[in-house]
Amino acid sequence: MKRWTNLALFVLLGLAFVTGWVAFFYATAPSRASLIVHAVSGYAIVALTPWKSVIASHGIRRRRSGWWASVVLTALVLVSVVAGILHSTGLLVSVGVISAMEVHVGAALVAVPFVIWHVVARRLPVRAVDLSRRSLLRAGALLAGAGLVYGAGEGVVRALTLPGWRRRFTGSYEYGSLDAALLPATQWMFDSVPTIDPASWRLVLRAGSSVRQWTYDELLAFDDRVRATLDCTGGFYSTQDWSGVWLSRLLACFQTDGGPLPPPCGEGRGGGPVAVAAAGSVHVRSLTGYDRRFSIESAGRLLIATRLGDQPLDPGHGFPVRLVAPDRRGYWWVKWVTAITIDELPSWWQLPFPMQ
């Protein structure tokens, strides 16, 4: 049972970690599906406490070298699980500017090196016996039990109409929709708000050897509108009205088919038309270096926004221009955009999440 418990914890920790990130990656149905597996694996970890306690107290009594690191690991997993439950039930969604979801993911991230150390130092015993009929039955019972706990939890949230009842399928809570003043300004991790002088700032579009620059005033002249939901992985979402210009319209200025260029491309802004690479992707980069890559086909649904709720953006929300990516999680909405480049690389050629 001891070996089985440790192995089960190993598999469940991996499952919880991966399904958490998968849920962050998608802004559609796969997000919810992944979160159900996520919650069940989280509760299964908790359900193993009675067995793991025996193992742990034995190890702690022996004072094996580095035992304190295992205690830190225990604290981190505990903090993460408690914060996850506080978020999901809505009992405590944030304290000041720190959200339960940020604590949840932060503690899980800090736990990673501890888990690796723990597994290496304490050895992960995998033997043929681990796939025995009995082990599998135990695993089935554990997951079924955890599933019931999760289902019951969701039932309680609904029955008591706890705040968690109102969360979106991504798990996020609504905040300040259609009131631009209430939209919080948030950064993915370490980025900070740059000061940009709109007079000297340019949006530089590149495709092959062709370059085309847009000034802030030129971009302000567009009025393409979209109502879109910014769903931040920090645990909130907000639906707002944005306006600016669809990226596909700017890219069209590079397209050549012999005929007249679509306005405003034919208005003598220089930078001759070139063929846009059929394969490849669009790379959108912030002045800060923060970047995301998109498929060229998605450009018709990516807004280069200059305004939020009919007012020019403020620095925190991406002044002078930022991306609005309606069907994607917040971290795709690149702020302070300065460079947009079409190249041959496929759109999946990037880390799944930004690193800054």
> Under the criterion CB under 5 A, does residue 330 sit at the interface with Mo ion?
yes
> Is there a contact between 338 and 202 (Cβ–Cβ < 8 Å)?
yes
> Under the criterion CB under 6 A, does residue 79 sit at the interface with ligand HEM?
no
Residue with tokens 């299964």: 44
Residue with tokens 């709109």: 198
> What residues from 2 to 41 belong to the interface with ligand HEM (CB under 6 A)?
6, 9-10, 13, 16-17, 20-21, 23-24, 35, 38-39
Member of 74, 215, 255, 288 binding ligand MTE (CB under 6 A): 288
> Under the criterion CB under 6 A, does residue 335 sit at the interface with ligand MTE?
yes
The torsion angles phi and psi of 143, rounded to 5 degrees, stand at -70, -40
**Run of H or E residues at 308:** strand 303-308
The two structure tokens encoding residue 124: 């992960």
Minimum distance of Mo ion from residue 135's CB (angstroms): 40
CA distance 32 to 101: 16
Please say which residue, 79 or 193, places its beta carbon nearer to ligand MTE: 193
> Under the criterion CB under 6 A, does residue 80 sit at the interface with ligand HEM?
yes
Q: Provide the phi-psi class of 9: left if phi over 0, else alpha when psi is between -120 and 50, else beta.
A: alpha
Member of 47, 157, 230, 232 binding Mo ion (CB under 5 A): 232
Task: Report how far apart the first and last C-alpha atoms of the chain are (Å, whole number).
Answer: 42
Q: Which region, judged by CB under 6 A, interacts with ligand MTE, from 101-109, 203-211, 267-275, 333-341? A: 333-341
> Under the criterion CB under 6 A, does residue 103 sit at the interface with ligand HEM?
no
Minimum distance of ligand MTE from residue 323's CB (angstroms): 8
Give the residue from 52, 55, 37, 51 showing the smallest Cα distance to 143.
37
CA distance 291 to 323: 11
Member of 191, 218, 241, 343 binding ligand MTE (CB under 6 A): 191
Member of 290, 304, 324, 338 binding ligand MTE (CB under 6 A): 290
CA distance 183 to 34: 27
- Among Mo ion, ligand HEM, ligand MTE, none, the one that 84 touches (CB under a kind-dependent 5 to 8 A) is ligand HEM
Please say which residue, 99 or 341, places its beta carbon nearer to Mo ion: 99
Please say which residue, 132 or 256, places its beta carbon nearer to ligand HEM: 132
Give the residue from 76, 82, 61, 80 showing the smallest Cα distance to 118.
76
Buried b (16+ CB within 10 A) or exposed e, 118-127: beeeeeeeee
Q: Which region, judged by CB under 5 A, interacts with Mo ion, from 164-172, 231-239, 268-276, 305-313? A: 231-239
Concatenate the DSSP letters of all residues of 231-255 into one string.
E-TTSEEEEEEEEEEEHHHHHGGG-
3-state SS assignment for residue 311: strand
The two structure tokens encoding residue 342: 């079409």
> Under the criterion CB under 6 A, does residue 87 sit at the interface with ligand HEM?
yes
The contact mask relative to Mo ion for 233-272 (x = CB under 5 A, - = no) is x---------------------------------------
The two structure tokens encoding residue 40: 């069940």
The torsion angles phi and psi of 42, rounded to 5 degrees, stand at -65, -45
Member of 6, 19, 70, 186 binding ligand MTE (CB under 6 A): 186
Binding site for Mo ion (CB under 5 A): 232-233, 330
Binding site for ligand MTE (CB under 6 A): 183-188, 191, 230, 232, 286, 288, 290, 316-318, 330-331, 333-336
Binding site for ligand HEM (CB under 6 A): 6, 9-10, 13, 16-17, 20-21, 23-24, 35, 38-39, 42-43, 45, 55-56, 58-60, 62, 64, 67, 70-71, 73-74, 77, 80-81, 84-85, 87-88, 104-105, 108, 111, 118-119, 122-124, 153, 167, 171
